[in-house]
Amino acid sequence: MAAREPVEYELLIAAPPRTVFAYFTDGERMTRWMGMRATLDPRPGGTARIDVAEGATMVGEFVEVEPFERIVLAWGWEQEQLRVPPRSSSVEVSLAPDGDGTRLRLVHRRLPPDAYDFHRAGWSHFLGRLREEAA
Amino acid sequence: MEVFEAIAQPKRREILRLLADGERSAGEVAARFDVTQPAISQHLRVLKDAGLVEERREGTRRMYRVRPEGLDDLHEFLAEVLPLGLRRLKRAAEEEARRGRA
């Protein structure tokens, strides 16, 4: 399968970088935008575990943590049927001051190709996987 | 997200695998597993509510088969989790900043 471009998001937030940064490092703030429970240890090598939904747990590790500027998180899903194993892809967050606010750029890289193709592969892939598990 | 709960349970994955080979009645499904009929019915209801299987009546029997588009919802969730989350993050951080200035 062909390699894919990273998935990128960029948005301007009317809050200073210090405030925005905390939404990636503080578990209580994290759950205001992602997940029901979050356990975060925001230092290089520290773990991140976010229950995004019942049965969907994001498991990751902080790779880089530069206060108020940059975070790189290796991540994936604990549940193998979600097709992105723990720590198999990276999320890079960059924060830059923009007036009184922050320009946030998030780049999601290195997803395994079959995660992108989940939709197309659909049932055949999923059920093939189930057969492997059962074998 | 019901789909996650539905496929997180090993027995339900086995049932999906069985139904992927063809339509079965609830009784036929139950006969393949060492669990009670009510337990199987409960699993089938969870799978149905999650949109992973569909049910039809045939006389007094309920027939079940996999619903091919059932995983689309899961895919959409995975594709949307970051962009939707970032919009919530923006709202929350801006509200916090406003409170801080007040």
- Dump pLDDT digits (tens) for A33-88: 888 899 999 999 999 998 877 777 888 889 999 999 999 998 777 766 565 666 66
Higher pLDDT, A35 or A121: A35
Cα separations in angstroms, A93 against A68, A112, B27: 10, 20, 52
Which has the higher per-residue pLDDT, A112 or A109? Answer: A109
* Sign (positive or negative) of CA dihedral A125, A53, A62, A99: positive
pLDDT at residue A34, rounded to an integer: 85
Give the pLDDT band of residue A16 (cuts 50, 70, 90).
Answer: very high
Residue A81 with chain B: CB contacts under 8 Å: 7, 13
Is the pLDDT score of B13 beyond 70? yes
Question: Of A23, A54, A115, which has the smallest distance from its Cβ to B1's Cβ?
Answer: A54
Share of chain B above pLDDT 90, in %: 46
Q: Note the pLDDT tens digit of each residue in B15-65.
A: 988 887 889 999 999 999 888 889 999 999 999 998 889 999 999 999 999
Residues 94-133 of A with CB under 8 A from B: 102, 104, 106, 108, 115, 118-119, 122-123, 126-127, 130-131, 133
CA distance readout (Å), B101 to A22, A61, A67, B41, B96: 17, 33, 22, 56, 9
Q: Which residues in chain B have their CB less than 8 angstroms from residue A126's CB?
A: 71
Nearest-5° Cα angle at A94, A89 to B75: 40
The pLDDT of residue B69 is above 70: yes
Higher-pLDDT residue of B68 and A14 is: A14
pLDDT computed for residue A112 by the predictor = 55
Contact B4 A19 (CB under 8 A): no
Dihedral angle computed from the Cα positions of residues A8, B89, A118 and A59, in that order, rounded to the nearest 10 degrees: 100
Q: Compute the nearest-CA separation of A55 from chain B (Å).
A: 5
Length of chain B: 102
CA–CA separation, B96 and A19 (whole Å): 8
Assigned token pair, B58: 């045939």
B77 to chain A nearest CA, in Å? 10
Judging contacts by C-beta atoms under 8 Å, the chain B residues touching residue A15 are: 93-94, 96-97
Q: Among positive and negative, which fits the CA dihedral B65, B68, B70, B75?
A: positive
ipTM, two decimals: 0.75
Q: Is A111 in a helix, a strand, or coil?
A: coil
Least confident of A16-20, A38-42, B52-56, B79-83: B79-83
Q: Which two tokens stand for residue A93?
A: 């967050």
Among A118, A124, A125, A129, which would you mutate to test the B interface (most chain B Cβ atoms within 10 Å of its Cβ)?
Answer: A118
Please indicate whether residue B69 or residue A61 has the higher confidence score (pLDDT).
Answer: A61
The predicted structure's pLDDT at residue A89 = 76
Strands (E) in chain B, as ranges, are: 24-25, 53-58, 61-66
